[in-house]
Structure 1
């Protein structure tokens, strides 16, 4: 009995470690992507017009705030509104569902939302040679009934 319990505890610990490592990995990939995107955008803006870029960073006599200061303030408020709005939306959906925990919420949403059925083999196309082929299929061919053979 103790051996089985020990194996369960080790398996749970390994699963928790994996989830932690996966979360750290995804967070670092997202952070690195955001930093690279922000840096690339700044470099492009400076390359396009270096005189006004420097004025926006340092400021000038006619401006009360620098362009960078205004941008950071806008980014801060945008972040607050985005997280606050999504948080309120998700919390209200949670409360309206009447669920007490995540497992119960998942079950209730599974009852409300339509089931996804897996067709094996697929009844429609799954391989496309390029984006144009995919878009042509979606705009013209998708949803048409197949002739019975």
Structure 2
């Protein structure tokens, strides 16, 4: 029994190996999707240029003007949206702080801890972490609810 456990621990990949594998997988997917997007965009431009050369040239000049106007509009919308989001969120949290009557962060934490419901550490039954989607699906399909 002890030999089986020792073999299992030796064959399991370490956290560092798992992290490296995930990084390599993410880099691979990003590279493949970037190349596919670039190739698709290039192919679309080539087909548009072949179909009607004059229309393509006219569209590029007009598109540049539209892109500049659209960029200015998008930048302005992003700036105002950011301003309203920061202002609204800041006002909300400042109001909660003032309504609580706390004078410092520690006092605020204790007051909110008294108001909000307690989460017990014993409430979880079963697994909470899985190696991957297959592991999760196997657990869900084989797990029986306690009655």
More helix by share: 2
Larger Rg over CA atoms: 2
Normalised by the length of structure 2, the TM-score is 0.48
